[in-house]
Structure 1
């Protein structure tokens, strides 16, 4: 933990997942960890295998003082843009916390519109344990949602690519067109 934060008793980390996909929600998590949390399981969610992310998520959910998850759906992203949607997802995640924090550490350059002291940290998901925990929870929640949604619309194989712009995803869009959860505002040359 950064020495700048030691004067704060309760610190919440906030991060989002799903800015880059062509489909699905952008998801954010806010997490308050206890002071005795075993941080050895934490890292930037993008640097952990799926197996390690799931294991870390179980520990975070069991041990966290409080956590919240916020969702902004594809239709909302199309209306307000991905930047504003990411900040709104963070705001929604914080609103789900059952404990107020003395300090909110948000990954990125721009702070979400939430009450209280907010500090933004660029690449905070690789620097601050509370943000790492939020990063892991947000990515896991979003990935699991995409896997479940693939049961509803199996033609797009969201369980495999989670909505990210892969070659296979491009082929599936060409073949089937847009699904109900594709982001229409994203400039995708192979969409219909």
Structure 2
């Protein structure tokens, strides 16, 4: 029996202490021909862990195990440029090839929940982004933000500068705060 590449990759990560999840072969038919990784580093260059991206039945599975982070929720995104120079603004904005509003960006991922011990494990599937989007002319990067992302989800009963609803920063970035870690996505 042939073992799909994602299962071999996850088994390898488990041996090195970077396990992310075990997904039964019957649950998802994996395309083992395309995958990528990002070694995520903080502003001092310290490795916090690895995020793995793997094609799966028309979706991309984004999985990672990270450590050395501040407890709580953090914005977690694929950013538009594969360049990680602290303070990581070189990674550009969220990957957004369709030019849509925040909360709908192709690079928007679910919040990263970090436990009290500074560790986080995340596994999600997305059909909003493709490897063609990720590996365009300037590449892409994984970014972890200092604060949680609100996905521009501010009810109109709230106001910014006296105007009902979210302000420009919320609409653009979800108020996720500074960029605390970055990893260039590589094949």
TM-score by length of 1: 0.28
Which one has more relative contact order, counting CA pairs under 8 Å at least 6 apart? 1
Structure with the larger strand share: 2
With normalisation by structure 2, the TM-score equals 0.29
* Bigger helix share: 1
